[in-house]
Amino acid sequence: MKFDVEKFMAEIIAKNPAEPEFHQAVREVAESLEDFLNDNPKYIENKILERIAEPERVVMFRVPWVDDKGEIQINRGFRIQTNSAIGPYKGGFRFHPSVTLGSLKFLGFEQTFKNSLTTLPMGGGKGGSDFNPQGKSDMEIMRFCQSFMTEMFRHIGPETDVPAGDIGVGAREIGYLFGQYKRLANQFVGVLTGKGREYGGSLVRPEATGYGTVYFAQHMLALNGEEIRGKTAVVSGFGNVAWGAAKKLHELGAKVVAISGPDGYVYIEDGITAEGVDYMLDLRASNKNIVSPFAEKFGAKFIAGKKPWEVKCDIAFPCAIQNELGIEDAKALVANGCKYVVETSNMGCTAEAVEYLVANVEFAPGKAANAGGVACSGLEMSQNAEKRSWTAEEVGAELAKIMKGIHETCVKYGKSADGKVNYVKGANIGGFIKVADAMIAQGIV
Ligand code: 2IT
What is the per-residue pLDDT across 223-245, written as a single tens digit (0 to 9) for each? 999 999 999 999 999 999 999 99
Looking at residue 244, its pLDDT comes to 98
- Given a contact cutoff of 8 angstroms between Cβ atoms, the answer to whether 207 and 278 are in contact is no
195 lines ligand 1 (CB under 6 A): no
DSSP 271: -
Q: What is the pLDDT, as a whole number, of residue 1?
A: 85
Q: Assess whether the C-beta atom of 193 lies below 6 angstroms from ligand 1.
A: yes
Q: What is the pLDDT of residues 24-63, one digit of tens each?
A: 999 999 999 999 999 999 999 999 999 999 999 999 999 9
Distance 1 CA to ligand 1 centre (A): 36
pLDDT number for residue 287: 86
Residue from 21, 370, 374 whose mutation best tests the ligand 1 pocket (most atoms within 8 A of CB): 374
Axis crossing angle, helix 138-152 with helix 171-185, rounded to the nearest 10: 40
Q: Is the CB of 379 under 6 A from ligand 1?
A: no
**Does the Cβ of 346 fall within 6 Å of ligand 1?**
yes
Residue nearest to atom 3 of ligand 1 (CA): 374
Which segments of the chain have a pLDDT < 50?
none
> What's the CA-to-centroid distance between 373 and ligand 1, angstroms?
6
Q: Specify the ligand 1 atom closest to the Cα of 111.
A: 3
Cβ count within 10 A of residue 381: 24
Question: From the CB of 206, is ligand 1 less than 6 Å away?
Answer: no
Tell me how far the alpha carbon of residue 167 lies from the centroid of ligand 1, in angstroms: 10
Residue owning the nearest CA to atom 4 of ligand 1: 92
pTM of the model: 0.98
Please give the distance, rounded to the nearest whole angstrom, from the Cα atom of residue 163 to the centre of ligand 1: 8
Q: Beta partners for 234?
A: 258, 316
Pocket of ligand 1 contains residue 343 by CB under 6 Å: no
Instruction: Tell me the three state secondary structure of residue 365.
Output: coil
Q: What is each CA distance from 375 to 87, 199, 204, 209, 398, in whole angstroms?
A: 13, 19, 11, 9, 9
pLDDT, position 131:
98
Dist. CA 238 → ligand 1 center (Å): 17
Contact residues for 184 (Cβ-Cβ < 8 A; gap 6+): 149, 150, 153
Where in the sequence numbering do the catalytic residues fall?
A: 126
The answer to whether the CB of 161 is under 6 A from ligand 1 is no
Q: How far is the CA of 299 from the centre of ligand 1 (A)?
A: 34
Give the other-Cβ count within 10 Å of 182's Cβ: 17
With a 6 Å cutoff on the Cβ, whether 322 touches ligand 1 is no
Cβ atoms of 231 and 256 closer than 8 Å? no
